[in-house]
Amino acid sequence: MDLQLKDKVIIVTGGSKGVGFGICEQLIKEGALPVIVGRNKTTILQAIKTLETSGAKVGHAYAELTDPEACRNAVEQIEQQYGMIDGLVNNAGVNDGVSLEKGDFDSFTQSIHRNLTHYFMMAHYSLPALKKSKGAIVNIGSKTSVTGQGGTSAYAAANGGRNALTREWAVELLPYSIRVNAVIVAECYTPLYQKWIKTFPNPEEKLKTIEANIPLENRMTSASEIGSAVAFLLSRQSSHTTGQLFFVDGGYTHLDRSL
């Protein structure tokens, strides 16, 4: 299936590693031009070097995403450089473990800024360009918004907000033919996930226990599988799909795990 993404300029926040990197890989396979936005210059340049080995072109803009002005500057830079923005993938964030019991006002508020506020700011500043292109927005979310996890109140709340904004924007942007959807991730083995697994006394045993609870094939979701879903939702092949929460998780969230 031709997704008709050739030469489309797609912003991917946090696109230098993990799920974001997998999204960029799949966009490149479809001929799109991903533009990575994030704060870590070293990581971004390393990712671009890896992604461009296939001859693809990858753009970038540096921004501390918790800073609204930095978000605005990044979007303006991208539009000036490429003349258009065809899609936005809000992906950057971190499960920072701010819990109800041990968290406080400052840590909770900071986590919301790290995990939700920039989703709004990047969409807000990209909107004029997306109106011109009749582009699409894909928000990356987490199962924690639906299942809970324990010990991560702020991250769960931020992801609940991502789901709500997906539905809200889908309604608000109907007049502009801008589609907004979300891809919800459960167990995807990224470097950050690996770091979390290593905090357990027996990481390999813990990983096997988690995989055993993933109904489809008892394995983790890959970043490329998330990327494929995102590419489809950005494309005109999903031209009548908006306001949806897509769970790409091997059935982890909704199927009986006794399976």
Residues annotated as catalytic (active site), given as ranges: 155
Closest CA to 236 of 174, 178, 173: 178
CA 130 centroid distance within chain: 18
Name the amino acid, one letter, at 232.
F
Contact by Cβ (8 Å): 8, 87: yes
Name the amino acid, one letter, at 160.
G
What number of CA atoms fall less than 13 Å from residue 57's CA on the CB side? 9
Contact by Cβ (8 Å): 61, 35: yes
